[in-house]
Amino acid sequence: MKIYVDADACPVKDIIIKEAQKHAIEVFLVKSYAHFSTQDDPKGVTSVYVDSEKEAADYRIMSMIAANDMLITQDYGLASLALEKNTTVIHHKGFLYSLENIDFLLETRYQSAQARKSGHRTKGPKAFSNEDRNKFHALFKELLN
């Protein structure tokens, strides 16, 4: 198993790296060149840089990921594609994507986009909280064990 992270806006990279190192699992942080760093990656972690194009990270992740790997992303579309490759997909707020819930999530996203196009205001996502961080950490540890 390898762990892939849609890393540009992921607030739990520190948890992912720490827990993966305990299990000697490779981590790939896929991010745009806009987030380039000259700092060395921790042991077992590889930063993969992509262009800043809208779907560049998604395409790179999908070209690298395989069955039984794990992906952390908040992107429902990418989660949907990764599920089809028989991977474990987790949202950074601590819930698992599944074949049972992905259609609902995609439909909700679509309806919100349609409402915004027609001039309605929709609520954005709630701010990331310590409760979300703890929920992610507990789920991630459980999945690794």
Tokens of 45: 């972690």
Report the distance separating Cα 114 and Cα 120, nearest Å. 9
pLDDT value at 102 more than 80:
yes
Residue 44, amino acid: G
pLDDT value at 80 more than 80:
yes
CB 23 within 8 A of CB 143: no
List, for residues 8-38, the tens digit of each pLDDT value.
889 999 999 999 999 999 999 999 887 778 8
- C-alpha radius of gyration, the chain, whole number: 16
**Positive or negative: CA dihedral 103, 104, 107, 112:** negative
User: Residues for the chain: how many in total?
Assistant: 145
- In this prediction, residue 124 carries a pLDDT of 67
pLDDT value at 109 more than 70:
no
Domains and their CATH numbers in the chain: 2-144 (3.40.50)
b/e sequence 94-124, b meaning 16+ C-beta within 10 Å: beebeeeebeebeeeeeeeeeeeeeeeeeee
Mean predicted lDDT score pLDDT of the chain: 90
Tokens of 36: 């380039």
